[in-house]
Amino acid sequence: MPRFYRSRVGVKALIVRRGRVLLLKRAPHSLPYPGLWDLPGGGCEKGEPIRETLVREVFEETGLHVRPRAPVDVVDLRWKLPREREQLGVSIVFLCSITGGLRPPRLSSEHTEFAWVGRAELGRFPMALHLDHVVRAGTPRASSRSRPRAARRNVRRAR
């Protein structure tokens, strides 16, 4: 069994608006998973309550104020940073509602783009494998009357 450098506890926000989930594209320098699409969130700081971490991280990464509702999943993560041992993390994914903040979202330097993505469009947004099933499960199926908009129209670049 590999020896881990450290373990981390983190949170992710599943923010669904009008049947679409908010995804952020990680910057090329943003480890782990550079260039992949992700949910907003991050690691807990020492002594910080989980829900406060989620609210802080979402605001730092998007400028949005959210209210964590219910936890929807727990995912385990493994990654290796340059010149370090493998790391292990656990992220609790919460369904969240937007209560205020900047619209459209303002991105931090960790991300280059954001998109509101419907279930039918998810295949065009490569995500880290540990999140794919969570996002699919949390994104409502399109009704027979609704037509998905082109994914490119929903992608916004950081300014």
Report pLDDT for 129.
Answer: 66
Report pLDDT for 47.
Answer: 93
Residue span of the structural domain in which 92 resides: 7-157
> What single letter denotes the amino acid at residue 95?
L
User: Is 98 contained in some domain?
Assistant: yes
CA dist list (Å): 144 to 13, 47, 117, 141, 147: 27, 47, 17, 9, 8
Q: Under a CB-based contact definition with an 8 Å cutoff, are residues 54 and 13 in contact?
A: yes
User: Is 1 contained in some domain?
Assistant: no
pTM: 0.80
The CATH number of residue 63's host domain is 3.90.79.10
- In the block, tokens 């400028």 appear at 63
User: Is 19 contained in some domain?
Assistant: yes
| Alpha helical stretches, state H, 79-150 | 129-138
Q: What is the pLDDT along the chain (159 residues), one digit of tens a residue?
A: 555 556 788 999 999 998 899 999 999 987 778 899 999 999 999 999 999 999 999 999 999 999 999 999 998 877 666 676 777 788 999 999 999 987 788 899 999 999 999 988 988 999 876 787 788 877 766 543 333 343 344 555 554
From the list 33, 47, 2, 12, the residue with the least C-alpha distance to 134 is 12
Report pLDDT for 2.
Answer: 56
Report pLDDT for 114.
Answer: 95
User: Is 54 contained in some domain?
Assistant: yes
User: Is 2 contained in some domain?
Assistant: no
Distance CA 25, CA 114 (A): 6
Residue-wise over 36-64: b if at least 16 C-beta within 10 A, else e?
A: bbbbbbbebeeeeeebebbbebbbebbbb
User: Is 114 contained in some domain?
Assistant: yes
